[in-house]
Amino acid sequence: MSIEGNLNRIKEKLGKSTKLVAISKTKTLAQVMECYNAGQRIFGENKVQELVAKFEALPKDIEWHLVGHLQGNKVKFVAPFVSLIHSVDSLKLLQEINKQGEKCHRVISCLLQIYIAVEETKFGLDEEEAFSLLESEAFKQLKNIRIMGVMGMATNTDHQEQIQSEFRKLKQFSEKLIHTFASGLHPFSQISMGMSNDYEIAIQEGSTLIRVGSSIFGER
């Protein structure tokens, strides 16, 4: 199917409260433009260099999200334009984002990446680490970041119940964070979960941002 056909098929499944982030990593500018011309405006990349190159080359009304692991020394390249960083997994990284946000007079929106999968390799904070980060004095001093919510990646498995229970866990954790920490500055209302193989479950479980690549653009 065409990129436009794929996009429309996914958009039909989005409820009122879920948005689609089209993950364009490894795809060409022409492919991104095809998706843009079909109406998509939110795109995500997992590598800083590729994100910057695409931002520079493509229309300026695109909202660019960073979804991959971010190294501190690369924050400065995305700070001037990034709309949402999905993958914050330490106070140290948050401090660097804050510092770079200050330099370009921006408040940068971020999600805390929470560890929900059984796999050992996935990045993220566990619930306890997220709580202690948010309770710390150092966090309270950061004025150039805004925590919009949480992000999680389910275990890569065909086992639907497993995925569902991991997404459910993230939703419950999100509710706990909202209850404890939400404010005008840190609304915490966003839940980024769901990729090509599990976005339908994620929508059911309350995702507000699904991150879909190969189901739109084809296999990488």
Ligand X SMILES: *Cc1c(COP(=O)(O)O)cnc(C)c1O
Site residues (CB under 6 A) for ligand X? 23, 25, 46, 67-68, 195-196, 211-215
Q: Which residue is nearest to ligand X (CB)?
A: 213
CA distances for 192 relative to 5, 203, 209, 212, angstroms: 24, 10, 5, 11
The least distance separating ligand X from the CB of residue 215, rounded to whole angstroms, comes to 6
At what angle are helices 127-135 and 160-181 packed, to 10 degrees? 20
> Judged by CB, which is closer to ligand X: 144, or 214?
214
> Judged by CB, which is closer to ligand X: 111, or 147?
111
> Judged by CB, which is closer to ligand X: 25, or 186?
25
> Judged by CB, which is closer to ligand X: 144, or 204?
204
The least distance separating ligand X from the CB of residue 214, rounded to whole angstroms, comes to 4
The least distance separating ligand X from the CB of residue 162, rounded to whole angstroms, comes to 17
Residue 139 CA to its chain's centroid (Å): 20
> Judged by CB, which is closer to ligand X: 109, or 139?
109
The least distance separating ligand X from the CB of residue 61, rounded to whole angstroms, comes to 22
CA distance 1 to 7: 10
The least distance separating ligand X from the CB of residue 173, rounded to whole angstroms, comes to 18
Among the listed residues 181, 66, 168, the one whose alpha carbon sits nearest the alpha carbon of residue 113: 66
Query: Residues of 111-129 as b/e, b for ≥16 C-beta within 10 angstroms?
Result: bbbbbbbeeeebebbebeb
